[in-house]
């Protein structure tokens, strides 16, 4: 562990974290008075924005956040089922409300497009916009018939997309999760559910967040074992390699910085934990 940011009081029920590819700044979504906090690489909070409310720049309930390569913070707002984009000063530049049932997870591509899940519609969307001008270019459904998709990540080298589906429980229990990986052309290239993971790992896994490392391996957070786990490349499934197995209480967010540090958002103690590669 190299750095721990936040802690009790400053981040209320945090839901998402993202790193700016250019500047190394971290954006965190949470349920406090100002919903987005931006931290510098040293851990100093540089800015807070996104008030709770009904105005255009307000955020009712942020579910996830990403940062585009051109320096815009994009948030899914479960409160009014929208996707909202801001510059790093906190000025709202675009809000997309059309057609979403419950937009949830999102991640940016190297071209500053955004891939996002709609958990209620069971769909995956690609959103392209000129954020500087505040113009939406297209919002296209690229995959349907998913089961409650939530967290999503884009591989910055291959363009592959990984999604975590939340499956309904059969009988008592929380239900289970399934990790699906699609190629850049949206062909299914690998999947692993909790049952498959149980074959290679003795305890139950409930994946909450997902990322690709720079080698294209799939990394997930698991709230059951309070760990971060590498599942390997999609063609290697099922692989199992715990990367962080202690010091976490309820990991819900995951991202890599440009210097390959691993950032974990821990909702259990309301903190951001940065690990050297």
Is 273 within the bounds of a domain?
no
Is 22 within the bounds of a domain?
yes
> Beta-carbon neighbour count of residue 191 at 10 Å?
17
Confidence at residue 247, expressed as pLDDT on a 0 to 100 scale: 95
Is 271 within the bounds of a domain?
no
Is 44 within the bounds of a domain?
yes
Number of independent structural domains in the chain: 1
Q: What is the pLDDT of residues 49-59, one digit of tens each?
A: 999 888 877 99
Is 145 within the bounds of a domain?
yes
Q: Which residues of the chain have pLDDT under 70?
A: 7-9, 170-174, 194-203
Confidence at residue 3, expressed as pLDDT on a 0 to 100 scale: 87
Query: What CATH number does residue 55 fall under?
Result: 2.120.10.30
Beta carbons of 264 and 252 less than 8 angstroms apart? no
Model pTM above 0.85:
yes
CA distance 210 to 58: 27
Largest Cα–Cα distance in the chain?
A: 51
Is 224 within the bounds of a domain?
no
CA distance 105 to 241: 24
Confidence at residue 57, expressed as pLDDT on a 0 to 100 scale: 79
Confidence at residue 19, expressed as pLDDT on a 0 to 100 scale: 96
Is 2 within the bounds of a domain?
no
The parent domain of residue 169 ranges over 14-214
Is 254 within the bounds of a domain?
no
């Amino acid at each position: 562990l190299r750095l721990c940011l936040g802690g009790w009081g400053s981040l209320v029920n945090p839901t998402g974290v993202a790193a700016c590819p250019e500047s190394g700044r971290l954006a965190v979504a949470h349920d406090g008075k100002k919903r987005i906090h931006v931290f510098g690489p040293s851990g100093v909070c540089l800015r807070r924005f996104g008030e709770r409310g009904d105005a255009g720049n307000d955020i009712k309930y942020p579910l996830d956040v990403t940062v585009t390569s051109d320096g815009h913070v994009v948030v899914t707002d479960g409160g009014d089922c929208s996707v909202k984009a801001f510059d790093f000063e906190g000025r709202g530049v675009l809000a997309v409300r059309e057609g979403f049932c419950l937009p949830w997870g999102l991640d940016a591509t190297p071209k500053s497009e955004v891939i996002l899940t709609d958990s209620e519609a069971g769909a995956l969307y690609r959103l392209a916009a000129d954020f500087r001008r505040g113009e939406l270019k297209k919002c296209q459904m690229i995959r349907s018939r998913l089961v409650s998709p939530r967290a999503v990540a884009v591989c910055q080298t291959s363009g592959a997309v990984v999604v975590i589906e939340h499956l309904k429980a059969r009988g008592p229990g929380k239900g289970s999760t399934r990790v699906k990986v699609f190629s850049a052309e949206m062909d299914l290239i690998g999947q692993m559910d909790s049952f498959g993971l149980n074959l290679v790992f003795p305890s139950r896994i409930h994946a909450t967040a997902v990322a690709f490392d720079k080698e294209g391996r799939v990394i997930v957070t698991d709230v059951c074992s309070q760990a971060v786990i590498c599942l390997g490349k999609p063609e290697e499934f099922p692989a199992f390699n715990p990367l962080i197995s202690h010091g976490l209480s309820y990991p819900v967010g995951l991202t890599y910085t440009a210097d390959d540090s691993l950032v974990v958002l821990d909702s259990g103690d309301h903190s951001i934990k940065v690990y050297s590669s």
